Structure 1
Amino acid sequence: MLLLQNFALGEWAEGLGPKTDLIHAVTGEKIGETSSHGLDFKAMLQYARRVGGPSLRAYTFHQRALILKRIAIALMERKEEFYPLSYMTGATRADSWVDIEGGIATFFAYASRGRREFTNERFHVEGPTEPLSKNGTFVGRHILVPMEGAAVHINAFNFPVWGMLEKLAPALLAGVPCIVKPSTTGSHLTHAVFKAILETGELPKGALQLICGEARTLLEHVEEQDIVAFTGSAATGQKLKSSPSIMQHSVRFNMEADSLNCSILGPDAVPGTEEFDLFIKEVTREMTTKAGQKCTAIRRTIVPAGLEEAVIEALSKRLASTSIGDPTVEGVRMGPLASRGQRTSVASSAEAIRAAAERVYGGGDFAVVGADREKGAFFAPELLYCADPLTRLEPHDIEAFGPVNTIMPYRDLSEAVQLARMGRGSLVGSLITHDPKVAQEVILGAACYHGRMLVLDRTSAKESTGHGSPLPNLVHGGPGRAGGGEEMGGARGVTHYLQRVALQGSPSMITAITREWTKGAEEHTDPVHPFRKTFDELAVGDTLITKSRTITLDDVEAFAKLSGDTFYAHMNDEEARSNGVFEGRVAHGYFIVSAAAGLFVDPDLGPVLANYGLEKLRFTKPVYPGDTIHVRLTVKQKTAKDTPEGTIPQGVVEWDVEVMNQLNEAVAVYSILTLVRRSLTAAPIAPQAA
C-alpha cells in the first residue's frame, strides 16, 4: 500500500494525524493514504522565498531553460513507470498519454522558448525604447524581473501530471520556487512524477515542495510577492480568490475554472459533408476522453434547427460503440470517473440539467468490461436535448463534470452566438464549418466570452489537435465563469511570474542597466575593427563609423540587372516623379542594405562565423543617384550560446545598423545578428545544480 509523503523544507515528511484514503477508480479498493497534517505551511513559504528563490534567480533564463530540458529528457526516459499509476485513476492509455507525455512536452516547449524568446540574463528587456524628451537625453524602457515570493499551485484531479507540469514550466523558467498542491484524488501519480523530478538533481534546494492532502491554512500565509495559480471548480476558485490574505496583499491569483464549453455545428455542415462527420467525431471524443473529466470538454452542443435528429442519431451510434471498463483491458475506450464521489456529483448535476432537457441517449444499465460497475466509479455517457435553450438556463448554468452533453438548436447565426455567450465565459469554444463567412461572424461574435476558439474543417482536420487540447504556445484560460486567468501562451505564461518595471533615465544609464545599447547612449570607437574581436572582447556600445560611398546611376541599373527588380521607380525618372513620393529615380532599398554591408564588413577570416539574421528593417528616406551614404554599426546586445562539447564556443551578437546620407539623416535602420567565436578560455554557461 502506498503511503504518500509530503516534501517540505527540503525533506520528505509523513503527515501526522488523520489520513485520507486513496482509492483505485476501477476496483474501488484502497491503494494508499496520505495526510498533510503537521506541516508548517508558513515555514514552507518562507523556505521557498529564502532558499529556493535566491538559488533559482542566480541562474539566467537560458540556464533555467536548460534545466527544464534536462528534466524533461529524464522524465521521458522514465515515462513507462507512470502509466500503471495513471490506470488507477481510471485513465486509458490514450488519456494517460495526454496527461503524462503531454505534461512532459510542456517542459520541452518552455525549454525551447526560454532560449529563443528570453535574454540570457537574470532579467528580460521588453519592448522598444520609449522617447520621453525632445533631445533624446531622457528615455524609458520596460524590464521584467522575477517575483521574489513563492508560487502556490493548486491543481485539479483530472490531470495529475499535466496539471502540475504546465504550471511548473513557466514558473521555474521565470525563476520562482513552487509549492505544488495536487488534488488528493490521483495524487499518487503526481507524487511519483514529482519524486522523479527531484531525483534528477537539476533543481536547487527550495525550488520545489509538495503537499499531499489538504492545504488547510496555506493561503493564510501568502504575501505580496507570492503568486497563486488555481485549477478547479469555479465555486472553489472564487472562495480561494477572496481569501483575506490574498485580498490584503494583492496577491496575484490566476484562476482556470471548469466551464460550460460549447461546440457549434455550422449551417453548411449538413449530413453527408466532411464537416458533419468531423463534428460527430469531435463531440464524441470530448465526451469520452478522460470520461468527460476535462475542463475543456464539450458540455453544450449547438446545432442548426432541423438537424437535431440527425445529430442525436449519429452521436448515439458512435457513443454506443464506445466500450467502457478497466483501462488496462484491450479495446476499452473509456474508463471510470476518478472516484465514486465524482460519480455521485455527476449524476446529481445531470439530473438537475434534465429539469430543462430530455435524455436522448444513456441512462439505465450499461456493460462494463473487466471490472465491477458498482465497485468502480463508472458512469456511462449521457446525451440530453434542450428544445428551448434561450429561456431554459440549466444547461448554461450547471456543469456535470463527466460524460454529459446537452444538444440545443439555433435558428440563425446570431442565435448560435447568443447561445455560445450564455455560458458566461468559457475556456474554449469550437465551430465546425467550411464557410469563411460563417466562421468570421461566429468567432467575432463569441470571442470575448472565450479564451480559445477552434475553427475545424476538412482542411485542418488531419493536423488539428482538437477542441479540448490546450497547447503550451497558446493561452489556456478564459473570462467570466472560466476564471478570468491565463496560463501558458508561450512567453505570456512566464510573465505571470515576473514583475514588469518601467525604467526612466538617460540612454547611457538605461544601457548600463539593461546591457542592451539604447540609441543616444555612449559609444566606444576603437582602431580595431569590431569583426576582429571575439565575442568576449566585444562590449555593448562598441561602434564603427564607416567610410562613405556615393551611389551612382550605374549602381542602380547594375543592381536592377543583377536582381531582376525593374520596378518603375528605379528605372524611369518621369514615372518615379509622377507617383508623388519620389523626386526621381531612386536606388533599390535592398541595394542600399547590400552597399552598407560592403562598407562595414571586414572580409578576412576572423571571429565572426556567420551572419544569420536581419530584423526590423525600415527604409526611412529615399536614396537618389548622387547621394553619399555611410554606416554606424554598434554592438546592441550579446547573448552567449550553450554549445555542445566539441564545437566552437560561440555567442550571438546583435548589431544596431544605421545607414546615413550626406546630411547625416538615417535612410535605413535595422539589426543584424552574427555568430561570433568566444574566447577559448570562456567559462561554460551550462548551469550546475546547487
Structure 2
Amino acid sequence: MTIIENRAAETATASATRDILNPSTGQVIQTVPEHGAADVDRVVAVARDALENGPWATMRPSERSRVLLRIADEIERSTEELYRLEAQNNGRPVTETRAQLSRVPEWFRYNAGLLAAQRTAVLPSDGPYLTYQRRAPLGVCGIITPFNHPMLILARSLSAALANGNTVVVKPSELTPLTTLALLPILERAGVPAGVVQVVTGAAEAGRRLTEHPDIAKITLTGGTETGRSAAVATARRFARMTAELGGKTPVIVFDDVDPREAAEGAAFSAFVAAGQSCVAGSRFLVQRDVYDAFVEHLTARAAAIRVGDPDDPQTQMGPLISARQRGKVAELVDSSREEGATISTGGGVPALDGELAGGFFYAPTVIADATMAMRVAREEIFGPVAVVIPFDDEDDAVAMANDNPYGLGAGIWTHRLDRAHRVADRIEAGMVWINDHHRLEPSLPWGGIKESGIGKDAGIESFDEFSWLKTVVTRIAPDSVDWYGGAGTERLN
C-alpha cells in the first residue's frame, strides 16, 4: 500500500477525502483525496504544460513505441500486486482479476506496434501537386473509467492516447481508484515523462469538470448512459472528440439446435462473471421454446453451484457487488419481477456468509424464469448477477426481441447452424456479437456500441487513429508560378 499512499498524497490538494471500501467486507482499506473542479483545473494545466513544453509530443515515434513496450514489461512484473489490489478494491475474485490483468500488457504492445508501423498517405492530385498527410497529437485527453474493469479499460484508451503523443488526465471511479494510482510509478519506471499522465480521484464534480474543461481535446468515458449523455453535451459545445461505452442489456439467443446443457454452462459466464457487473453481461437469455425448460434447469443448477465468497480465495468464483447501493438496486429489480409474475428459480437474495464477509455487499447468483419482455428485469440494466430467461418461437421472433431495447452494445448467439449464426448476427443491432462464446476481446477488436450504448470505438486501429488529428499538406511542384489575376494559371479554380 505504500506506493498508493505516496502517490495519492502527491496529488492531494483537496481538503476533503474519501474512504475506499473493500466491498467484500464493507471495511475501509484506503483514504484518497476527494478532488473537485479546482483540482481538475490544476492537473489539466500540468498536463498541458507537459504537452507544450515536455518531450513526449515531439518524441520520435520509435522512441515512444519503446516506452510503451517498457510499460507492458513493467506491468507484467507488477501483475500479482495489481490483480490482488484490484480484487480487494472491486471485489472480483483473484481468478478473474489475474486472468484479466495478465492481458493488460497486450494493449500497450499492440498500440506500440501500430505506432511503429504507422503510415500516412500520399494522395492523388490533378496537376503539379504533391499532396500528403501528417498526424499530430490531439492534446490533453481525459479518460474516465468505471469500477468494474478499472485497469483493463484504462489500458485500452491510455495506450492509444500515449502512443499518439497526447498527455492524459485520468479520473477513475471514485469507488476503485487504487490500481490506477498504483500505475503511476509503473509509468515512471518505464520512462513516461513527468506530467504526461495525471490522476484525479474525485466523484461527479471532478468528472463533470473534466468533460467541460476547455483544454481537454478528447474524452473517453465508460459509464452509465445518463452520464455519457451529459458528457456528450459538454464536449459537443466545444467540438471536442468523445468516445463513450455506456449501458447495455445484452441479449443471448439460444436456438434449439444446441444442447441446452452445453448452452447453459457456456453462457452462464456471460451472466455471472464480475458478479454481472459488466456492460455486456448476458442479462437477457432468449431461449427457443422447445429447449426452454431444459435450459432453465441447467442454468439454475450452474448458478446455484457458483461458489460465492472471499475474492482473495482462489476457490471463490463470484465476489460481492461494488456497494450497498448497487445491491439495493439489484434486489429491488429482482423483487419487481416477482410482483410481475416471474419465477425465481435460484438466488434472489443475500447469501449467508460468516465473519467479515457478513458485512460485504454480496448477492446470490439469480435466475429468473417465466419472464416476459414487458417486465422491468427484461428492459432495464441490472448490473448484478441476474439472468432473465425468456422464451421465443422462431428466428424472426428472437431477432425482434433482441433488438427491442434502447441499448446496442453486445449480443450472443448459441447455435450449431452456420447459416443461422451469420444471418442472425447480421440482423442484431449491437456493436459486438459473439457466436457460441461471450465477452471475448483482443486489442485489435474495435469495442463499442450503438444506440444508447455509446459512440465511437475503443481498441483497434479505429481507436488508435481517433487519438490524433489528420493534416493534409498540398505542395505545388510545377516550375512556373501562379498569377491568377495576371492571367497565369486560370485554367482551374479550387
User: Residue in 1 aligned with 2:47?
Assistant: 48
TM-superposed deviation, 1:2: 7.8
Corresponding pairs, count: 473
Q: Counterpart of 1:520? A: none
Which residue of structure 1 aligns with residue 351 of structure 2?
A: 366
Question: Partner residue of 1:268?
Answer: 257
- Paired residue type of 2:18: T
Q: 1:205 aligns with which of 171, 194, 201?
A: 194
The alpha-carbon deviation at position 76 of structure 1 amounts to 0.7
Q: Distance in 2 between matches of 1:339 and 1:418?
A: 35
Measured after TM superposition, the shift of residue 229 of structure 1 is 0.7
Counterpart amino acid of 2:295? V
CA displacement at 1:210 relative to structure 2 = 0.6
SS at match of 1:486: coil
Instruction: Give the AA of the match of 1:206.
Output: G
Alpha-carbon spacing, 1:508–1:84, altered in 2? closer, same or farther (3 Å): farther
8 A contact 2:141–2:216 mirrored in 1: no
| TM-score, reference length from structure 2 | 0.88
Against the structure 1 CA distance between its residues 150 and 405, is the aligned structure 2 distance closer, same or farther, given a 3 Å change threshold?
Answer: same
Partner of 2:313, secondary structure, is coil
Instruction: Confirm whether residue 409 of structure 1 aligns to residue 408 of structure 2.
Output: no
Q: Distance in 2 between matches of 1:248 and 1:333?
A: 45
2:218 is matched by which residue type in structure 1? I
Q: 8 Å contact 1:324–1:367 — kept in the other structure?
A: no
From 10, 14, 17, give the equivalent of 1:16: 14
Aligned 1:302-381 pairs, distance under 5 A: 302-354=286-338, 356=340, 357-364=342-349, 366-368=351-353, 371-381=355-365
Are 2:7 and 2:184, in contact at CA under 8 Å, matched by a contact in 1?
A: no
| Gap change, CA 1:46 and 1:230, over 3 Å in 2 | same
| Native 8 Å contact 1:22 1:31 kept in 2 | yes
> Taking structure 1 as reference, are residues 236 and 378 closer, same or farther at Cα in structure 2, changes over 3 Å only?
same
Match of 2:440 in 1: 469
Paired residue for 1:240?
231
Corresponding residue of 1:259: 248
Is 1:353–1:398's contact at 8 Å kept on the other side of the alignment?
no
User: 1:215-234 maps to which residues of 2 (within 5 A)?
Assistant: 215=206, 218-219=209-210, 222-223=213-214, 226-234=217-225
CA distance in 2, matches of 1:58, 1:225: 19
SS in 1 for 2:56: helix
> What corresponds to 1:79 in structure 2?
79
Moved more, 70-79 or 500-509: 500-509
Q: Does 1:155 align with 2:145?
A: yes
Long gaps (5+) in structure 1: 120-124, 457-465, 510-690
The equivalent position to 1:430 in structure 2, one of 412, 431, 449, is 412
Partner of 1:499: 469
Q: Is contact 2:378–2:388 with CA below 8 Å preserved after alignment?
A: no
Residue of structure 2 equivalent to 1:183? 173
Corresponding letter in the other structure for 2:144: I
Identify if the C-alpha distance between structure 1 residues 152 and 193 changes in structure 2 by more than 3 Å, giving closer, same or farther: same
Residue 181 of structure 1 deviates from its aligned partner by: 0.5
In the TM superposition, residue 508 of structure 1 has moved relative to its aligned partner by 8.4
Tell me what 2:182 maps to: 192
3-state SS of paired residue (2:170): strand
Q: CA deviation at 1:493?
A: 1.1
Deviation at 1:480, TM superposition (A): 1.0
CA 1:481–1:421: 2 relative to 1, 3 Å: same
Q: Offset at 1:161?
A: 1.2
1:436 offset after TM fit, Å?
1.6
Secondary structure at the counterpart of residue 366 of structure 1: coil
Output the CA distance in 2 between the equivalents of 1:165 and 1:437.
36
Cα distance, 1:332–1:282 mapped onto 2, change above 3 Å: same
Q: Which amino acid aligns with 1:496?
A: E
1:324 Cα deviation from its structure 2 partner: 0.5
Cα pair 1:268 1:433 within 8 Å, conserved: yes
Shift in CA distance, 3/407, structure 1 to aligned 2, threshold 3 Å: same
Task: Measure the CA separation in 2 of the matches of 1:3 and 1:340.
Answer: 28
Matched, 1:388 2:387: no
Note if contact 1:425-1:481 (Cα within 8 Å) is conserved in structure 2. yes
Counterpart in 2 of 1:513? none
**1:143 CA displacement:** 3.5
Does the 8 Å contact 2:210/2:216 carry over to 1? Answer: no
* C-alpha separation in 1, matches of 2:7 and 2:140: 15
Aligned counterpart, 1:169: 159
Structure with bigger strand share is: 1
Which residue in the other structure is 2:401 paired with?
Answer: 419
| Letter in structure 2 aligned against 1:286 | S
Q: 1:407 to 1:43 in 2, by over 3 A?
A: same
What code does the residue aligned with 2:306 have?
T
Q: Pairwise mapping of residues 260-659 of structure 1 onto structure 2 (< 5 A)?
A: 260-271=249-260, 277=262, 279-354=263-338, 356=340, 357-364=342-349, 366-368=351-353, 371-389=355-373, 392=374, 394-446=376-428, 449-456=429-436, 466-489=437-460, 491-506=461-476
Change (3 A) 1:248 1:111: same
Is the Cα–Cα contact under 8 Å of residues 371 and 378 in structure 2 kept in the other structure?
Answer: no
Deviations 1:46-75 (A, max 9, x none): 321232355222123332121111011011
Hey, what's the Cα distance between the residues in 2 that align with 1:451 and 1:429? Answer: 8
Q: Equivalents in 1 of 2:128, 2:237: separation in Å?
A: 40
Deviation at residue 23 of structure 1 after TM alignment? 0.9
Kept after mapping to 2: 8 A contact 1:427/1:478: yes
Distance 1:435 1:507 in 2: 59
- For residues 508 and 182 of structure 1, the distance between their equivalents in structure 2, rounded to whole angstroms, comes to 54
The answer to whether the 8 Å contact 1:3/1:33 transfers is no
Once the two structures are superposed, what CA deviation does each residue of 1:24-52 show, in whole Å capped at 9, x if it has no partner? 11121111212234753223223212323
CA RMSD of aligned residues (A): 2.6
Match for 1:129 among 123, 126, 131? 123
Q: Distance in 1 between matches of 2:87 and 2:469?
A: 40
Bigger helix share? 2
- 1:473 CA displacement: 0.5
On the 8 A contact 1:266/1:438 being kept in 2, the answer is no
How far does the alpha carbon of each residue in 1:556-607 deviate from its partner, in whole angstroms, 9 at most, with x for none?
A: xxxxxxxxxxxxxxxxxxxxxxxxxxxxxxxxxxxxxxxxxxxxxxxxxxxx
Aligned AA for 1:256? Answer: E
Offset at residue 355 of structure 1 (A): 5.1
Structure 2 unpaired stretches of 5+: 480-494
* Deviation digits for residues 261-306 of structure 1 (CA, Å, limit 9, x no counterpart): 12111232144xxxx50x2123211222211112221111111112
Q: Equivalent residue of 2:413, what SS?
A: strand
Q: What TM-score does the superposition give when structure 1 sets the normalisation length?
A: 0.64
